[in-house]
């Protein structure tokens, strides 16, 4: 009897979590190591035991693994910036969370979401509503939030205004289209040419994109003619750099703002002097990590609420492709292929 009770006790106090660790900084295909570790449910006062449900593979996650991101995650840390989990147990001093609550990272520091279970402090978690699909919740903190802030924090946009963006087929780009559409802001969307070009155009238009064109077309007089009856864009969103960013600056209205939030081409942002001096174009940058550092929980809550509200009204969709955590390698590979237009999300309990 005694010995059986001891075994049961052991079983109850430890369970296994699978996690993807950064074993070295470099190519994601070789730098990561999948490890099993024991997680105790004897958690301390302020801690919360979370069973992770979903986590996306974001481009920023890959950059962190490569060691090329603005913040570093030490070797040995768990990869993954965002995700969603369900609270399994809370410490006696935890006041804001209870069992079965859904939580996402508070984004105040690197989270390490690519694992099936974890223990975090209450401050590292942020409660989210239960009526939003968990796949959506897992990707809410980075891409839709970035899109929302890009549209809100730089230029005062009103119904009928026009914006232009490149990388429009990314999840931020697709989010921008829908958030703009909901506000009556028109979008000019630039995407890469390629075999799936027509499918991409259709998808972006279905989501509400007003104009969808290729990077090459933007440089033609025909494009200028196409947009000639629209007001000039007050805001340009750049995640590419190089020639693509330069073109956006030329199309901006006088006094317009170009915001860079990514650099997919790995080329710098190059702006003709005349655009800066004679047309008063402003060049800014946006980094979500910094935004989270500098803003309160209630400011974050109101951004999330705005997005949740649109999701409930079916005005905001996320295109997601789920992969089992047990098939991580394929998911990682897929996430590195460009142009498939869907976010790869890990199903962490499978």
Minimum distance, C-beta of residue 153 to a second copy, in the bound complex (Å):
12
217 is in an annotated binding site: no
Q: Is 143 in the site for a second copy (CB under 8 A)?
A: no
Are the C-beta atoms of 48 and 94 separated by less than 8 Å?
yes
Q: Is 153 in the site for a second copy (CB under 8 A)?
A: no
Only one of the segments 112-120, 174-182, 217-225, 272-280 lies at the binding site for a second copy (rule: CB under 8 A); that segment is 272-280
85 is in an annotated binding site: no
Q: Is 270 in the site for a second copy (CB under 8 A)?
A: yes
Helix (H, G, I), strand (E, B) or coil at 79: coil
172 is in an annotated binding site: yes
Measured in whole angstroms, the distance separating CA 161 from the mean position of its chain's CA atoms is 25
Q: According to CB under 8 A, which residues from 9 to 38 bind a second copy?
A: none
Q: Between 67 and 91, whose beta carbon lies closer to a second copy?
A: 67
Residue span 207-246 as binding mask against a second copy, x where in contact by CB under 8 A, dash where not: ----------------------------------x----x
Q: Between 70 and 231, whose beta carbon lies closer to a second copy?
A: 70
Q: CA dihedral in degrees (76, 293, 237, 154; nearest 10)?
A: 180
Per the annotation, the verdict on 69 as an active-site residue is yes
CA pair distance 312, 258, nearest whole angstrom? 31
Residue span 70-99 as binding mask against a second copy, x where in contact by CB under 8 A, dash where not: x-----------------------------
Q: Tokens 């994601």 correspond to what residue?
A: 28
CA pair distance 304, 140, nearest whole angstrom? 8
Quick one: which of 282, 301, 326, 349 contacts a second copy (CB under 8 A)?
282
Length of the chain equals: 350
Q: Which residues contact 199 (CB under 8 A, 6 or more apart)?
A: 341
Quick one: which of 25, 205, 219, 284 contacts a second copy (CB under 8 A)?
284
Catalytic residue from among 69, 136, 148, 304: 69
Helix (H, G, I), strand (E, B) or coil at 284: strand
Helix (H, G, I), strand (E, B) or coil at 48: strand
CA pair distance 198, 202, nearest whole angstrom? 6
Q: Is 67 in the site for a second copy (CB under 8 A)?
A: no
DSSP symbols for 167-180: STTSHHHHHHHHHH
Count of residues in contact with a second copy, rule CB under 8 A: 28
Quick one: which of 272, 305, 329, 333 contacts a second copy (CB under 8 A)?
272
193 is in an annotated binding site: yes
Structure tokens that stand for 245 in this block: 């960013």
What is the DSSP-derived secondary structure letter of residue 233? P
Q: CA dihedral in degrees (242, 248, 252, 257; nearest 10)?
A: -60
Only one of the segments 89-97, 156-164, 259-267, 323-331 lies at the binding site for a second copy (rule: CB under 8 A); that segment is 259-267
* Element holding 310 (H helix, E strand): helix 297-312
Structure tokens that stand for 157 in this block: 């946009």
Helix (H, G, I), strand (E, B) or coil at 251: helix
Residue span 289-308 as binding mask against a second copy, x where in contact by CB under 8 A, dash where not: -x------------------
Only one of the segments 141-149, 167-175, 258-266, 304-312 lies at the binding site for a second copy (rule: CB under 8 A); that segment is 258-266
CA pair distance 338, 253, nearest whole angstrom? 31
Q: Report how far apart the first and last C-alpha atoms of the chain are (Å, whole number).
A: 35
Quick one: which of 5, 156, 277, 313 contacts a second copy (CB under 8 A)?
277
Binding residues for NADP(+) are 143, 169-172, 192-194, 261-264, 286-288, 343
Binding residues are 143, 169-172, 192-194, 261-264, 286-288, 343
Binding site for a second copy (CB under 8 A): 70, 241, 246, 260-263, 268-287, 290
Q: Which residues are catalytic?
A: 69
């Amino acid at each position: 009897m005694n010995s059986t009770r001891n075994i049961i006790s052991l079983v109850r106090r430890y369970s296994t979590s699978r996690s993807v660790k950064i074993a070295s900084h470099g190519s994601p295909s070789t730098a990561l190591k999948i490890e099993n570790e024991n997680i105790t449910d004897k958690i301390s006062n302020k801690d919360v035991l979370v069973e992770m449900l979903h986590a996306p593979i974001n481009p920023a996650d890959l950059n962190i693994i490569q060691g090329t991101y603005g913040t570093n995650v030490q070797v040995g840390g768990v990869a993954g910036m965002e995700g969603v989990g369900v609270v399994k147990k809370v410490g006696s001093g935890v006041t804001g969370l209870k069992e079965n609550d859904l939580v996402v990272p508070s984004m105040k520091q690197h989270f390490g979401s690519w694992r099936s279970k974890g223990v975090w402090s209450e401050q590292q978690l942020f409660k989210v509503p239960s009526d939003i699909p968990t796949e959506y919740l897992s990707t809410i903190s980075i891409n839709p939030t970035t899109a929302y802030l890009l549209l809100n924090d730089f230029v005062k946009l009103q119904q009928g205004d026009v914006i232009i963006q490149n990388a429009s087929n990314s999840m931020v780009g697709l989010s921008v289209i829908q958030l703009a559409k909901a506000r009556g802001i028109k979008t000019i969307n630039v995407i890469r040419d390629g075999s799936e070009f027509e499918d991409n155009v259709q998808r972006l238009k279905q989501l509400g994109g007003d104009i969808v064109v290729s990077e090459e077309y933007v440089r033609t007089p025909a494009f200028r003619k196409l947009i000639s009856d629209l007001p000039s864009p007050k805001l340009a969103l750049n995640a590419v750099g190089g020639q693509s960013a330069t073109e956006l600056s030329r199309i901006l209205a006088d006094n317009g703002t170009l915001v860079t939030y990514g650099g997919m081409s790995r080329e710098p942002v190059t702006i003709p002097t005349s655009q800066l001096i004679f047309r008063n174009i402003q060049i800014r940058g946006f980094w979500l990590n910094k935004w989270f550092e500098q803003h309160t929980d209630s400011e974050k809550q109101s951004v999330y609420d705005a997005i949740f509200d649109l999701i409930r009204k079916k005005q905001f969709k996320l295109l997601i492709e789920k992969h089992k955590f047990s098939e991580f390698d394929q998911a990682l590979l897929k996430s590195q292929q460009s142009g498939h237009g869907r976010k790869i999300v890990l199903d962490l309990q499978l």
